[in-house]
């Protein structure tokens, strides 16, 4: 049983679930469908029962012919095809194309499944932000649906996801990290009263909350310091995000609220509508805290990242700006997350 400190570094917890110590694992036919047809990503081995040994049948990255493809398929269907866990990273990259298959894959630990989900969600989120079209939206929705199934079966899995968030706090991961933190806080605040339909729409709202930033010039964002006119332009991005969603008929309040309200503050100093107090909904408040927390713990060219415990403390001390129920829920949840 492994004992590690949580992500805030303030107490020790058990994080031993799901460890798989097998050296070789079977390749299921459904997983084989995720492999590229021309070149497989891992070395493959055949289990020979009579002599009880694993015999090589394929070397990774070599060209796969028709006969060999047929042989590998038959071995997989017979339960005789294996790969080495030393190549688990290449294996999980392929599994990510079918998240439902990843969920059911006994070869992946819960930590590895969390990593697969975050990587693929980040890819699909970025694709939708780049091309906000129905096809990209459906791809993102599908991934979010698989994530919600994964989490609603056992809400403790969310701590595995948030652990993986803290393994990569780069600027490139900010959007997906903030989306997942927001989802974690929402689930913690609404334990026992979450339906799958509501969870999927709420999750979608969190994953598209910052899409309006795609309308802001990268040259403007790179400046760091803005003129009054440039700041006014920046402050319009939540409204622009709402316009993008409207074109896709995404008008449900649980989807639009995080988009339009994630920069509003309880004391009315936020933007774009200067909302205050009860004018800001629960999802808007959660998105505001999550976006700010991830911004604090992310390194940027002109700003050094804060430690998670310092960022959480600053949010708790900013009671005039942030909902303290949300802030304290975030702190309480982070105490369940293993440290890196």
For 218-275, give the DSSP string.
Answer: HHHHHHSS--HHHHHHHTTHHHHHHHHHHHTT---HHHHHHHHHTT--TTS--SSS--
The phi, psi pair for 116, rounded to 5°, reads: -60, -45
**Mean pLDDT, contiguous 10-residue spans, the chain (340 residues):** 60 43 80 89 92 91 92 94 91 84 83 87 95 96 93 89 91 95 96 90 98 88 80 92 96 97 97 97 98 93 88 95 97 87
pLDDT at 230: 83
Q: Are the CB atoms for 212 and 256 separated by under 8 Å?
A: no
Query: Rg of the Cα trace of the chain?
Result: 22
- The pair of structure tokens assigned to 275 is 């909302």
Length of the chain in terms of residues written: 340
Q: Which two tokens stand for residue 109?
A: 């630990």
SS3 label, residue 86: helix
**Other Cβ atoms within 10 Å of 187 Cβ, number:** 20
* Contact in structure between 81 and 54 (CB atoms under 8 Å): no
Phi-psi region of 14 (alpha: psi -120 to 50; beta: other; left: phi over 0): beta
Helices (H), the chain: 29-32, 66-77, 88-95, 99-104, 110-130, 134-153, 157-167, 174-189, 196-207, 218-223, 228-234, 237-247, 253-261, 282-297, 308-317, 324-334
pLDDT in tens, 101-154: 888 888 888 888 888 889 999 999 999 999 999 999 999 999 999 999 989 988
In this predicted structure, what is the pLDDT of residue 169?
Answer: 92
Q: How far is CA 5 from CA 114, 147, 328, in A?
A: 19, 26, 19
Q: What angle do CA 323, 256, 175 make, to 5 degrees?
A: 70
The predicted pLDDT at position 228 comes to 87
| Cα→Cα distances 70→37, 66, 103, Å | 11, 6, 26
Nearest in space to 286 (alpha carbons), one of 252, 261, 320, 250: 261
Torsional sign, CA 185, 334, 179, 274 = positive
Residue for token pair 């509508």: 273
């Amino acid at each position: 049983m492994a004992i590690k400190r949580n992500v805030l570094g303030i107490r020790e917890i058990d994080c031993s679930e799901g460890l798989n110590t097998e050296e070789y694992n079977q390749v299921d036919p459904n997983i084989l469908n995720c492999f590229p047809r021309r070149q497989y990503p891992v070395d493959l081995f055949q289990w020979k029962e009579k002599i009880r040994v694993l015999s090589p049948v394929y070397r990774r990255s070599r060209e796969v012919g028709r006969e060999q493809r047929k042989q590998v398929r038959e071995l997989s269907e017979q339960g005789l095809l294996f790969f080495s866990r030393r190549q688990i990273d290449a294996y999980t990259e392929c599994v990510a194309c079918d998240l439902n298959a990843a969920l059911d894959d006994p070869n992946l630990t819960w930590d590895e499944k969390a990593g697969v989900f975050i990587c693929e969600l980040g890819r699909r989120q970025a694709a939708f932000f780049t091309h906000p079209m129905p096809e990209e939206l459906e791809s993102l929705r599908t991934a979010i649906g698989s994530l919600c199934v994964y989490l609603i079966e056992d809400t403790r899995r969310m701590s595995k996801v948030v652990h993986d968030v803290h393994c990569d706090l780069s600027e490139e991961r900010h959007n997906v990290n903030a989306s997942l933190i927001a989802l974690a806080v929402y689930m913690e605040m609404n334990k026992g009263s979450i339906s799958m339909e509501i969870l999927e729409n709420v999750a979608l709202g969190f994953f598209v909350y910052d899409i309006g930033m795609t309308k802001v010039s990268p040259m403007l964002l790179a400046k760091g310091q803005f003129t009054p006119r440039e700041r006014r332009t920046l402050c319009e991005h939540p409204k622009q995000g709402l316009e993008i969603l409207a074109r896709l008929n995404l008008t449900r309040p649980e989807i639009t609220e995080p988009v339009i309200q994630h920069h509003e503050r309880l004391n009315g100093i936020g933007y774009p509508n200067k909302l205050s107090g009860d004018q800001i909904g629960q999802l808007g408040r959660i998105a505001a805290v999550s976006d700010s927390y991830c911004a604090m713990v992310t390194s940027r060219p002109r700003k050094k990242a804060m430690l998670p415990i310092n960022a959480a403390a600053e949010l708790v001390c900013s009671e005039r700006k942030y909902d303290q129920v949300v802030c304290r829920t975030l702190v309480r949840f982070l105490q369940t997350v293993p440290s890196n």
